[in-house]
Structure 1
Amino acid sequence: MTEQSQVSQHFDIQKIYLKDVSLETPNSPAIFTEQWQPQTEVRLDTGAAPVTQDIFEVVLTVTITSKLGERTAYLAEVQQAGLFTLRGFEDGQMGHMLHAFCPNILFPFAREELSSLVTKGGFPGVLLNPINFDGLYMQRLQQQQAATAGGAAAPH
């Protein structure tokens, strides 16, 4: 039975595309005259929605906020998207595919776009470290399970 379900699983990349991009530099040009030692924060978000029965749009949103003290140097955001064919996966597998496997495919595209965007804004390039989307997905599942258990989960 397991062999049969694996044979019927199907995955394809239909298209990878840039859905939205934004760069804000609210304190330019004055920010360019200051010593550059920013504090940088990176936020990630994934979303998925069915387009047809077997085709899903997955969107990876990566937001970088860079500040000098309390002043924002730049805020850059990229929504990197893809259309993926997913067929024959069980619910648990589908969640992993949509929120870990597909974002892993999209991340290098988002990283490249953000680096280019920040550089075009006149700032030093940004190279984001690899992201463990599998680990993030498992962490999110554990948090949801703990919330569902009403806080009755055993302490670590």
Structure 2
Amino acid sequence: MAEEEQASETNNEAAEQQFIIQKIYCKDVSFETPNSPEMFTLKWEPELKVDLHTAVNPLGPDVFEVVLTVTVTVKVGDKTAFLAEVEQAGIFNVSGFEKTQLDAMLGSYCPNLLFPYVREVISELVNKGGFPQLILQPVNFEAVYAQHLQQRQEEGDAPATDAVH
């Protein structure tokens, strides 16, 4: 009987956990080509730098906005060819999870859901800016989140819902 009660408690916990996507939207977009048209006359040997930033904003009980900011800087030599920055956001209802699970959902799972949207927007911006196609490679947000947690522990910080990568 104890096994049945334990299984019943596990089922109740799982039934109480909810993850709902309310909305996914583009919060901010920026594209700059500070050295055009000169860039189009140079031999295309780009240096690519990608920066990721995740922020979590509580909106109410069990409701969170997660913002994934991706900044792509491409240089040819010492000149910036283009700079693309996209803030992709989502509003998520997340309830019934323990604190560590909630932090992982907001710091890893949600950015993973948002990333394909960012990749599409950046690809379109770069293409419309007259540059060769750019497709961002997948990001292992679980590994990035784990690295962020480790860094926070080493620094003695507790919250893990705002990550700079």
Q: TM-score by structure 1 length?
A: 0.92
Identify the residue that residue 115 of structure 1 maps to in structure 2: 123
Identify the residue that residue 20 of structure 1 maps to in structure 2: 28
Report SS of the residue matched to 1:20: strand
Identify the residue that residue 3 of structure 2 maps to in structure 1: none
Cα distance per residue 1:74-124 (max 9 Å; x no partner): 000000000111011111011101110000100000000000001111111
Q: Structure 1: which 4+ aligned runs deviate by more than 6 Å?
A: none
Identify the residue that residue 137 of structure 1 maps to in structure 2: 145
Alignment match of 1:44 (pick from 48, 52, 63): 52
Which residue identity lines up with residue 95 of structure 2 in the other structure?
R
Q: List aligned pairs for 1:54-93, cutoff 5 A.
A: 54-93=62-101
1:4 positional shift: 2.7
Give the aligned CA root-mean-square deviation in angstroms: 1.2
Q: Distance in 1 between matches of 2:39 and 2:107?
A: 37
Which residue identity lines up with residue 8 of structure 1 in the other structure?
E
Alignment match of 1:6 (pick from 14, 18, 37): 14
Matched residue count: 149
Cα distance per residue 1:6-60 (max 9 Å; x no partner): 2211001111100000001000011111010110000101111111212110000
Which residue identity lines up with residue 116 of structure 1 in the other structure?
E
Identical aligned residues as a percent: 54
Unmatched tracts of structure 1, length 5 or more:
150-156
Decide which structure has the larger Cα Rg and report it: 2
Report SS of the residue matched to 2:44: coil
